[in-house]
Structure 1
Amino acid sequence: MKSITGALGFRIASPVASGLYWSSIWLAIGAVILSIMLTGSSVDETNLLPWVFGVHGFSSFAGGFVSARRAGRKGWYFGLANGLMYTLLILIISFLATDANWTITVPTLLLITSLTGAFGGMLGVNTGSNN
């Protein structure tokens, strides 16, 4: 039986691009969970910022893990690169979609995603098959 990548006929060559792909998947899952949380509970949108940072942090962690696992070396480097690229994409999308302002949340998001991406990379490089 062929794997999904073999059946579809393509494979993402860059470890960082692969990490960004998985980061976006986890971001979408987190956004759906936060939407369900907003509609199904008494959580206000004003109290949602820590949850949003948590979703971004976990998404960056997962992307850093995948990118370092694919690279097989320099886990913190590939995880940090994934976190920085992830933050850049989120900022570009949020600016273009909602004309977001540059507040203290931007450096906070950058710090969270960079650190969690690097940490995910450090863990992911040790789980690869290249060891």
Structure 2
Amino acid sequence: MDELNLTTPTLLFSAVSLILLAYTNRFLSYAQLVRTLKEQYLQNHSEITAAQIDNLRKRLYLTRSMQVLGISSLFFCVVAMFLIYIGLHDLSAYIFGLALLLLIASLGISIWEIHISVKALEIHLKDMENK
């Protein structure tokens, strides 16, 4: 393996930052949706609204996991850069590898969350078809 230098971990900075921005936007839209669904549920205790709330709860927990893993990935990139800076190149390679694995896990959970989001839209479409 070629020796890591300071530019290698910095390549992840922009990617992870954009991913975290997307995760934050997703979280904010869920917060608005929670408020809307609460109003709907208080007005009409329908099964569709209850199903949407259950689905949204799962999506919120997955989004939190995505954010934690993404932030952890960024954290370990910084640690890897520091280790490179002080000359601990072997350890920095392992820490950078950990950062990559955390980013992969975050993206994998994102795929899972998208799958659940599609189910939520299917619930909504079924409700429209029934009316």
* Band the TM-score falls in, shorter-chain normalisation: 0.3 to 0.5
Normalized per residue, the structure richer in helix is 2
TM-score, structure 1 normalization: 0.32
TM-score, structure 2 normalization: 0.32
